[in-house]
Amino acid sequence: MVSGVLDYLWLVPAFPLLGVILNGVLALIAERPFLLKEAGLPPPGGSHGHPSRGNSHATEAPGSHGSGASGPHSAPVYRNVVAFLAPGAVGASFVVALLCVLSLAARPPEGRTFVQILFPWIQSGSFLAPVGFQLDPLSSVMALVVTGVGFLIHVYSVGYMSHERAFARYFVYLNLFMFAMLMLVLANNYLLMFVGWEGVGLCSYLLIGYWYEKQSASDAGKKAFIVNRIGDFGFLLGVFLIFWTFGSVSFTDVFARIPLLRDSGVLTAGMATAITLLLFLGATGKSAQIPLYVWLPDAMEGPTPVSALIHAATMVTAGVYMVARSSALFLLSPDAMSVVAVIGAATAIFSATIGICQTDIKRVLAYSTVSQLGYMFLACGVGAFAAGIFHLMTHAFFKALLFLGSGSVIHALSGEQDMRKMGGVRRYLPVTFVTMFAATLAISGIPGLSGFFSKDEILWQSFSSPHGSPALWFVGALAAGITAFYMFRLVFLTFYGGSRMDPEVEKHVHESPWTMTVPLSILAVLSVAGGWVGIPASLGGDNRFEEWLAPVFRSVAAAGAHGAATGAHPSVSLEFGLMGISVGVALAGIGIAYFLYRLRTSKPAEIARRVPALYDLVYHKYYVDEIYEWAVVRRVVDGSVWLWQMFDALFIDGIVNGIADGVRSAGDRVRRLQAGIVGGYAFSLLAGAVLLVGYILYRSMVP
């Protein structure tokens, strides 16, 4: 089979890895001496055994982000090299990915799966997990999204992080993230996917905690990693179950063996449910669904491009990709599907409500991401995997744009993130305003834009699909309305109205440099046009996106899953009706937002006063964090202290030392027998003799 460029598929993850190595070397060689010299510390290595010089130590101002960094520096040459290398690596892998996808597209629909095995990674007995990549329609979409959006964000970061001290270190982590994400997306087996899965978890830990001197940042990083690890625990058990049921972990083998094993009774519905729910536990951890979503809002401590890349566009969607990839397994157990759907819907509505009252611009976007992810899981839960992936793509575009836009706002306002101290920024940041407004329209589901097509498709599928139900549709629609409301609330508070900025910040406000605005505009175009590739048949489009993903999901559906999603359309008019309702709800949301934040700006405060308990509850995120802290963390820590002090030190050591002291005191008592008086000695000798002879005579008498 003429694979041609596909043979170079392994270059896609290889380029970022190369970037990591090169930038890493630069970081260790070039950046370290520069930073140490700058902080007035002794030059690295070499001098040992020196008496510590008590020279003046510049207590490093906390790595302030945004433009307020410590004074202009003549950017050392290594920064320019890094600034070129990091985005370059991602750009190169985007180009290669694009070429591979194109050559894949050239193939007939059924043959669009290309697997490339590099070398056997772990092999023990019957278990084999190779390092191998698989490119098929699903992973090609993901690869393009990851590399595309990733490249834009890398370019954006060059500008955003220009005043940072540890410039190279940031890009090393970012490239490492790209490498891990691409491993996750392109892996041909569950175990390699798990490598990427934990790899991205590590990078999110490193990047959230980038400003490690801020206690809140390193706490958030640690929290993210540990909550992810709880998810990974479920994923791992899922992998074990998969291996011991199917005898292999690579996707092609597993999915091919489903019919055989199901007929032979090995693969029962209960087993399928167990596997899928365990995998889904992993997905909730990674994609921040209830109950493991708590880490995402705190992850905003990291630099904004990181939030854009990891906590909006790519990493958090890994869970959706995994569920979509294992769609064949999910279709086997209806109750697993309903669990996914219900949690998706619940998360969507729950986090949307929290989004309403948040004042930090990035927190609003964070909860919006959790909510949109809920939609994607809702789509997967009702069997509309293609719709889920479509929404994933469009969401990647407009959510990345929103984050980068808010980053540009924060950058301009020298670090200010609280919307109450913004307002009227429109005049200063025109490009940012226009692009963010476009994204807001998209996310609210205004017809014609990408958000509308993807979200509406999900709402329609949640209504019409055999797994779906009107209740799910209603929750989805309601959440869509709330989304529109808080997004426009954000726009009005930030860009419109009087300037609530404190004066000297206002003096410095200026439009971001081209390296930031160009990616914004590209993303804006994508947010608008991104949806056109998936216009549903009912609106006259031929939904090329769904058709593109069909081979991955239809072949699975054909494998005996009950009734494919693209079954009979009850009626086009019903679809139009529901579409109308969803647009209506969106417009209502926008109206209310306009009313509250443009006309009666005092109204929101008034409402808050009228129902303080409810407002307070929603503002504090339903105290979920505090409950977790109290119920889980405190209990575990106190329990461990008890285990250590009471059980370990007192109980076990008590026994051990007790035995030792017992032996010693016995020794002392026995020693005291030696009283020193010969009479006693003679008596003990006599007694011994009498006993001995008596015993012998007794034993010989009694046989």
Binders of other proteins among 126-165, rule CB under 8 A?
Answer: 127
Per-residue mark of binding to other proteins, 9-38 (x: CB under 8 A)? -------------------x---x--xx--
CB 563 within 8 A of CB 468: no
Q: How far is the CB of 468 from other proteins (least distance, A)?
A: 33
DSSP string, 605-622: HHHHHHSHHHHHHHHTGG
Q: Is 692 in the site for other proteins (CB under 8 A)?
A: yes
C-alpha 396/C-alpha 526 separation (Å) is 10
Contacts with 408 (C-beta within 8 Å, 6 or more apart), sequence order: 429, 432, 512, 516, 517, 520
Establish if 639 lies at the interface with other proteins (CB under 8 A).
yes
Report which DSSP code applies to 537: G
Token digits for 63?
A: 């790595």
Residue 64 within binding range of other proteins, rule CB under 8 A: no
- 381 touches 337 (CB < 8 A): yes
Residue (of 401, 390, 425) closest to 141 by Cα position: 390
Residues 206-245 that bind other proteins (CB under 8 A): 209, 212-213, 215, 218-219, 222, 225-226, 229-230, 232-233, 236-237, 240-241, 243-244
Span interacting with other proteins, options 261-269, 452-460, 568-576, 657-665, rule CB under 8 A: 657-665
The reply on whether position 631 binds other proteins by CB under 8 A is no
What separation in angstroms does the CA of 172 have from each of 19, 360, 414, 492?
A: 7, 28, 25, 37
- What backbone torsions phi and psi does residue 250 show, to the nearest 5 degrees? -80, 145
Contacts 24+ apart (CB under 8 A), 37-43: 38/165
Does 622 participate in binding other proteins (rule CB under 8 A)? no
Taking CB under 8 A as the rule, does residue 696 contact other proteins? yes
Q: In whole angstroms, how close is the CB of 47 to other proteins at the nearest point?
A: 7
Q: Which of 198, 456, 457, 575 binds other proteins (CB under 8 A)?
A: 198
Query: Which residues fall within 8 angstroms of residue 298, CB to CB, at 6 or more apart?
Result: 208, 216, 219, 220, 223, 224
* From 4, 7, 37, 44, residue interacting with other proteins (rule: CB under 8 A): 44
User: Rounded to the nearest whole angstrom, what is the least distance from the CB of residue 631 to other proteins in the complex?
Assistant: 16
Pairing of strands 114-124, 127-135: antiparallel
The values of phi and psi at residue 510, to 5°, are: -150, 160
DSSP code string of 325-338: HTHHHHHH-HHHHH
662 binds other proteins per the rule CB under 8 A: no
Letter string b/e over residues 558-573, b meaning 16 or more CB atoms within 10 A of that residue's CB: eeebeebbbeeeeeee
Candidates 74, 264, 602, 700; binder of other proteins (CB under 8 A) is: 700
- Which stretch, 55-63, 87-95, 430-438, 616-624, contacts other proteins (CB under 8 A)? 55-63
Q: Smaller CB distance to other proteins: residue 83 or 278?
A: 278
Contact segment (CB under 8 A) with other proteins among 324-332, 352-360, 421-429, 659-667 equals: 659-667
Count of residues near other proteins by CB under 8 A: 100
How far, in Å, CA of 100 to CA of 94, rounded?
10
Tokens of 652: 């076990």
Note whether 124 binds other proteins by CB under 8 A. yes
CB of 58 to other proteins, least distance (A): 10
When the beta carbons of 588 and 685 are compared against other proteins, the nearer one is 685
Question: Pick from 1, 2, 52, 72: which binds other proteins (CB under 8 A)?
Answer: 52
Smallest distance from other proteins to CB 650, Å: 11
Q: Which is nearer to other proteins, 99 or 226 (CB)?
A: 226
If the CB atoms of residues 240 and 514 are measured against other proteins, the closer one turns out to be 240
Residue 61 interacting with other proteins (CB under 8 A): no
Closest CB 239 distance from other proteins, rounded Å: 8
Say what angle helices 430-444 and 450-464 make with each other, to 10 degrees.
Answer: 10
Report the C-alpha gap between 619 and 185 in whole angstroms: 36
CA R_g for the chain? 32
Which residue is it, tokens 């954006």?
A: 156
**Distance of closest approach, residue 198 Cβ to other proteins, in angstroms:** 5
In angstroms, the CA 26 to CA 82 distance is 8
Q: Least distance to other proteins from the beta carbon of 521, Å?
A: 37
Coil vs helix vs strand at 265: coil
Residue closer to other proteins, measured from CB, 1 or 673: 673
- From candidates 57, 420, 510, 600, binder to other proteins by CB under 8 A: 57
Interface with other proteins includes 266 (CB under 8 A)?
Answer: no
Q: Which range binds other proteins by CB under 8 A, 115-123, 503-511, 532-540, 568-576?
A: 115-123
